[in-house]
Chains A and B, each alone.
Chain A
């Protein structure tokens, strides 16, 4: 059983469309992070959210942490081919060891 469930697992859309990726859990997290990974590389940190209800924006990407700190979402506006990659959410549980647990990832493809 995956501690962090991401949906959808695969998403293929056209350039210019909007999309949302979800990361859900029944556990409470001290923080949630989003990473993007490209083929042959390690994941790269995009953002960290730590406060329930927090919203952070990174250009066309908007990240939200749920009020109860159990879930998060990533919204991309006007997707570009450069947004293509594997998006991973990861969190540190409130009750538990200080290490990130990862979701299974969302593989995003933006078609020109």
Chain B
């Protein structure tokens, strides 16, 4: 597609339920990133995928969070047993490669997650 697509755009869930957030990156981009943004603040890194390499999971806040990327394209971020502190905007981005530090990221519009 022309841009990074995220779905759903909004998700309200009850505390304790599991949620899945989807990201469809730009075709041909080998790197895919997940960030979290709270209340218009800066972005908190969660995880990134580069080609077929093992993902960098160093930013995942707890073992309730996991992500996968199938076929080097679409990615799903799963949050199990959601808590109120998980409420945030989850942003996905892709870039041509993570191996070149001057490549910019293209972000999706995000999924706004609200845990009630």
Contact = CB atoms under 8 A, between A and B. Distances in A.
B102 A88 contact: no
Contact of B40 (A6, A92, A107): A107
A89 B30 CA distance: 23
Interface residues of A, number: 27
Interface of A: 2, 6, 30-31, 33, 40-45, 48, 50, 86, 88, 90, 92, 97-105, 107
A91 B56 CA distance: 17
B98 to A, nearest CB: 4
A102 B5 CA distance: 22
Given A43-B107, A44-B107, A50-B102, A98 B42 contact: no
Nearest to A101: B45
B4 A92 contact: no
A30 B101 contact: yes
Contacts of A90: 43
